[in-house]
Amino acid sequence: MGFSLIPREEKFYEDLKMFADQLRIGARLLEQMLANDPPAWDKAFEIKEIEHQCDFLTHEIIQRLNKTFITPIDREDIHALAKTLDDVMDEMDNAAHLIPLYKIEKIRGGARELTRVILEQCDEIRRAVEALEVRKGVLERTIEINRLENEADRIHKTAVGLLFEEEKDPITVMKWKEILDVLERATDRCEDVANLLENVVVKHS
């Protein structure tokens, strides 16, 4: 078995786990924000802080990639994972921003269910990243993330259908359609993370 005299930089796993931890915090805050009527508008500021933390982590990971000779997995995969994890947080931040912007006082059906799915997906992402380090159990986690995304699609379609059926004010329809779409996009971005992790596993199997 060949080996290298130059050690691999393993801190990337710690960076990715830290990133996944931030996603879980952001998802939990988003769920808390929408838990009651009226929603907790001030949570948007806390979520924005998490989004800034994720931007910083992305920058740190990319900077380390530029300085590291040997990485534990392909550098393009680490770069793509960092960017895609950041995309998840961006969508959560976008959703949180819309609630106070549109002065939402009452949460419509589907929104809380979508935030629950996002939180569950972020929990699975954290487990998948940890599993990636030991090269065991990643696919079980990514399958669950994909299943949750399919569940989110059903929730979204039902919620949008009821929105057009029940809401008569066109401005309210526009506001809630955007909120529901952004929440659903967050679940899509989680699926993107899962797909990347699957590709890494296949590449290194």
Output the pLDDT for position 68. Answer: 81
Assess if residue 2 is contained within a domain: no
Report yes or no on 6 lying in a domain. Answer: no
57 found inside a domain: yes
pLDDT number for residue 5: 37
pLDDT band of 1, cuts 50, 70, 90: very low
148: nearest Cα among 170, 166, 133, 128: 128
Residue 167 lies in a domain: yes
Our count of domains for the chain comes to 1
pLDDT in tens, 140-196: 999 999 999 999 999 999 999 999 999 999 999 999 999 999 999 999 999 999 999
For residue 85, tell me if it sits in a domain: yes
The parent domain of residue 26 ranges over 11-204
**What pLDDT, on the 0 to 100 scale, is given for residue 2?**
40
Q: What is the pLDDT of residue 3?
A: 39
Structural domain includes residue 189: yes
pLDDT tens string 84-141: 999 999 999 999 999 999 999 999 999 999 999 999 999 999 999 999 988 899 999 9
pTM: 0.93
CATH code for position 111: 1.20.58.220
Q: Which residues of 25-46 are buried (b: 16+ CB within 10 A; e: fewer)?
A: bbbbbbbbbbeeeebbeebbeb
Is 3 part of a structural domain of the chain? Answer: no
DSSP notation for 112-147: HHHHHHHHHHHHHHHHHHHHHHHTSSHHHHHHHHHH
